[in-house]
Amino acid sequence: MRVRIAYLLVVIFFIFVFIIFYRGLSNSNLYTPNTDIKNIPEFSSKTLLKKETVNSKNIFNQNKFYLLNIWASWCLPCRDEHPLLINLSNNNKIEIIGLNYKDKLSNAEKFINELGNPYSLILLDSEGTKAIEWGAYGIPETFLIYENKIIKRYIGPLNLKLVDEIKNYIK
Amino acid sequence: MLYSSLGHYSLVFGLITSLPIIFFSIKNFKNDEVLDYKIITFSFIQLLLVVISFFGLIFAFVYSDFSNETVFNNSHTTKPLFYKISGTWGNHEGSLLLWLLVLTLFIFLFLIKSKNHLKKYRILTLLFQQIIIIGFFIFLIKSSNPFNYIFPIPDEGMGLNPILQDPALAIHPPILYLGYVGSSIIFSSVLAATTLNYISKNWATHIKSWILISWIFLTLGILLGSIWAYYELGWGGFWFWDPVENVSLMPWLALTTLLHCILILEKRSILSSWVIVLSIATFTLSMCGTFLVRSGILNSVHTFANDPERGLFILTFLFLLIFISLLIFFIFHKSDNQKINSFSLLSKETSILINNWFMMYFLSVVLIGTVYPIFLDVISSQKISVGPPFYHKIIVPFLIPFLIFMAIGPQLKWIKAGLNNKSHLLILFVISLLISFLIVDSLKINFLVNTLLIGSAFYLFFITIRDFFFKKFQNIQQNISHFGFSLLILSILFNNIFSNELITNLKVGESFKNDKFEITFNDLKKLDEKNYISFKGNFSIRENKIEDILEPELRVYNQPNIITSEADIKTTFFTDKFITMNSVKNEEYFNIRYQVKPFMLWIWISVLLISLGGLMSLFKKNHES
């Protein structure tokens, strides 16, 4: 009798684990924009190139639009959307901040050397924890920010249509 | 084009071949006394078809056939041939094809190598293995087909992730998969043996070689991954407790424990439940790893493109296997005739059993650390990331008794208490603690834990060295592995404790001196390269009258105007020296970061020693039989 209860408990345990994993899978599916965070999370981070530590309070504090772009040198779609970001960086109503995600420093620098630097500041997230704070789904991912509020988020690479949309916002 | 279709059709026919295999197996299971030769033939055909399919994919990569979606996504015409080939398994679809290849190869080898065993047992093992094989075939063809066709055909591929273009990483997946998938044979064989009540000393001897084979490959696979992380990721460490690293460590812990249990089973016919549960655990943990990595449920350096449909398939398949094995275990398993407590408290069995529990503890810590963030996310939508401090705090203190039991265990006898003439055990323990005390005393670190930890690691170190001389090579393979393990722990500890870092600003001609070393900035060479100007610094570092020259580099690119810094690493027998320099704004001073990482090389060597022990054990066994 006792043995049977033990067996039953084991089976129940595994069913529980299955359900959790199953939910976990569909969770990442249902992970849609404009839920969760509205305000930008507070953090401090080292920066690429200038090698200094900055606090998020001092980044998004001016009265203009900001675009936070999460990228990595190993991410191919990031490479694709990069020219669009460079194009956008010529617009002085918006400032583009990069968040370099789980990358090797020298590769990240190489990437910027090769393709140009649209970012006014590149924050480092070598462990991927800051991207989690932002609730990022994956890379690339881009957040449009105004007055410390996230007004729009773009999962996946930007394209011409989305860039036009961003230009519309900041007009 | 040709190679892709060839690959695709062999894959489909490979799946169909499972039908005659299962048909003849079931027919043969009831009837004849000898194994039907048709079964082996069809298994061979299946293997051959998977091999053809695999080579089809390799050729598609070699000839840069971009009509193949996998090739398009992961290759490029300008890539060196070596990385074109390794690109075959550097992606989700190709790596699964490699899984399948190893699955079919191992079951074929198993059929040939198990001639002396019961026919029913061989057939049943084949049938269980076929369940796994069919599962992977369907998964591959349905949701991750490596031979998908794209039209119009692109001119150029997307290229392989540069971070993956590294020799250590090119061979890391195949070696690791041999370990992972090798455990499938153990899994199928255990299920068959449990069903037929065939678990015996004889069976233990036979399955031991399979355990050793997967164990060796798994150990080497983890080592290669770690070497890659150290040199390529350049964060200066070798183990980051990244979920995907953990996922390879968990089957290793289970397999190592299983290896020790099978020894007891072989000698004493006890602990059969341990053996069954661990065999099931090893393979399901490997599968669980595949699930975690491939489904995108975890985010990590290693994650392949995430696709929930794939995740769902592996998840369902994984739990199907778990329930089949639980069912078999509950219904068919009969506990050992001899009771567990039929041996003395101070015997080899006890010490192995105690360390088994420690291993299970380490395993659960890693398991919880890896999957807990998922649980928390699902239940409370909180996102957390479990990092090294968690693992260090929870695992490190328990290493102390673990190391001590590991040292004493092999000195004891089977069954009986045997501590006569063992005064050296105590003497060596006192010596180890003394040495450790002297080392730790001069440092400003947590005194008690470190003294005990280094002391117990030294204890194992000395005892294994003593055994090399006194035991007359009786059990040399175990001795080497345990020695390697003590060396590993010592190297990691010393690497942590004695790592040194110096950050200072210097200009040419200046030197900086502290109590440990003196850095002199000798020279700065300016070279004009194609698209950048290189400033190569020449530093001499004097430490205990030894002088080293290191040459870090600073690159100033002209378009756009950006400065990058290239480190210089010098690996020697006892330490790695690592230097970087950076410019300080508008001054002739440079910021110098110099790191000394002792015993890096020894970490790699000790893991090699651990697997060498396994390899010797494998050959010794084959030699005897």
Total domains present in chain B: 4
Q: Domain residues for B55?
A: 1-165
Instruction: Examine the domain organization and report whether B507 and B494 are in the same domain.
Output: no
How many other C-beta atoms are found inside a 10 Å radius of the C-beta of residue B417?
A: 13
B-chain residues within 8 Å CB-CB of A117? 560, 562
Instruction: Examine the domain organization and report whether B145 and B56 are in the same domain.
Output: yes
**Coil vs helix vs strand at B307:** coil
Beta carbons of A106 and B301 less than 8 Å apart: no
B341 pLDDT higher than 60: no
Beta carbons of A25 and B306 less than 8 Å apart: no
The three state secondary structure string of B134-186 is HHHHHHHHHHCCCCCECCCCCCCCCCCCHHHCCHHHHHHHHHHHHHHHHHHHH
B-chain residues within 8 Å CB-CB of A156? none
Q: For residue B48, give the amino acid letter.
A: L
pLDDT band at B53 (very low <50, low <70, confident <90, very high): very high
The pLDDT of B401-428, averaged and rounded, is 79
Average pLDDT, chain B: 85
d(CA B97, CA B476): 38
- Residues B49, B133 contacting (CB under 8 angstroms): no
Domain contains B170:
no
Q: With an 8 Å Cβ cutoff, is B383 touching chain A?
A: yes
Instruction: Examine the domain organization and report whether B291 and B363 are in the same domain.
Output: yes
**pLDDT: which is higher, B150 or B272:** B272
Beta carbons of B374 and A24 less than 8 Å apart: yes
pLDDT of residue B366: 94
**Coil vs helix vs strand at B126:** helix
Q: With an 8 Å Cβ cutoff, is B158 touching chain A?
A: yes
Q: With an 8 Å Cβ cutoff, is B315 touching chain A?
A: yes
**Ordered DSSP codes for A9-33:** HHHHHHHHHHHHHHHHHHHHHS--T
Instruction: Examine the domain organization and report whether B401 and B447 are in the same domain.
Output: no
Which residues, numbered 89 to 108 in chain A, qualify as contacts with chain B under a Cβ-Cβ cut-off of 8 Å? Answer: 102, 104-107
B448 CA to chain A: closest CA distance, Å? Answer: 31
Domain contains B251:
yes
pLDDT digits (tens, 9 = 90+) for A35-75: 455 677 777 777 877 777 888 777 777 778 888 998 888 77
d(CA B462, CA B473): 16
Domain contains B381:
yes
B1 pLDDT higher than 80: no
- Residues B236, B595 contacting (CB under 8 angstroms): yes
Lowest average pLDDT, out of A19-33, A93-107, B44-58, B165-179, goes to A19-33
Residue given tokens 């039907």 in the structure block: B36
Could you say which of B308, B532, B567 has the minimum Cβ distance to residue A29? B308
Which residues, numbered 1 to 20 in chain A, qualify as contacts with chain B under a Cβ-Cβ cut-off of 8 Å? Answer: 7, 10-11, 14, 18, 20
The pLDDT of B480-484, averaged and rounded, is 93
B405 pLDDT higher than 80: yes
d(CA B409, CA B355): 9
pLDDT digits (tens, 9 = 90+) for B219-278: 999 999 888 777 665 555 788 888 888 999 999 999 999 999 998 888 888 888 899 999
Lowest average pLDDT, out of A49-63, B176-190, B512-526, goes to A49-63
Q: For residue B100, what are its two tokens?
A: 């399948």
Domain contains B284:
yes
B202 pLDDT higher than 50: yes
CA nearest to A132 within chain B: B383
Instruction: Examine the domain organization and report whether B87 and B231 are in the same domain.
Output: no
Instruction: Examine the domain organization and report whether B192 and B326 are in the same domain.
Output: yes
* Interchain CB contacts (distance < 8 Å): A and B: 93
d(CA B66, CA B64): 6
The pLDDT of A144-157, averaged and rounded, is 79
What percentage of chain B has pLDDT greater than the value 70?
88
**Which residue among B453, B470, B498 closes a domain?**
B498
Residue given tokens 């900055």 in the structure block: A54
Instruction: Examine the domain organization and report whether B325 and B214 are in the same domain.
Output: yes
Beta carbons of B319 and A14 less than 8 Å apart: yes
Domain contains B614:
no
Instruction: Examine the domain organization and report whether B217 and B361 are in the same domain.
Output: yes
ipTM surpasses 0.90: no
What residues contact residue B442 under an 8 Å CB cut-off, 6+ apart? none
Could you say which of B163, B330, B375 has the minimum Cβ distance to residue A104? B163
Q: Please report, in angstroms and rounded to a whole number, the separation of the first and last CA atoms in chain B.
A: 48
A-chain residues within 8 Å CB-CB of B306? 28, 138
B301 pLDDT higher than 60: no
A-chain residues within 8 Å CB-CB of B300? 128
**Ordered DSSP codes for B46-115:** HHHHHHHHHHHHHHHHHTT-TTBHHHHHH--TTS-HHHHHHHTSSSHHHHHHHHHHHHHHHHHHHHHHTT
Instruction: Examine the domain organization and report whether B494 and B520 are in the same domain.
Output: no
Helix, strand counts (H, E) of chain A: 5, 7
pLDDT of residue A30: 34
Could you say which of A24, A73, A138 has the minimum Cβ distance to residue B297? A24
Instruction: Examine the domain organization and report whether B383 and B257 are in the same domain.
Output: yes
d(CA B521, CA B538): 6
A63 CA to chain B: closest CA distance, Å? Answer: 28
Most confident of A66-70, B159-163, B233-237, B585-589: A66-70
How many other C-beta atoms are found inside a 10 Å radius of the C-beta of residue B461?
A: 23
d(CA B446, CA B436): 13
pLDDT digits (tens, 9 = 90+) for B60-107: 999 988 888 888 878 877 777 888 898 898 888 899 999 999 999 999
Domain contains B587:
yes
Instruction: Examine the domain organization and report whether B330 and B203 are in the same domain.
Output: yes
Instruction: Examine the domain organization and report whether B257 and B221 are in the same domain.
Output: yes
B484 pLDDT higher than 90: yes
Selected from 3.40.50.1000, 3.40.50.1370, 3.30.930.10, 3.40.30.10, the CATH number assigned to the domain covering A38-169 reads 3.40.30.10
Most confident of B172-181, B237-246, B385-394: B172-181
- Residues B577, B560 contacting (CB under 8 angstroms): no
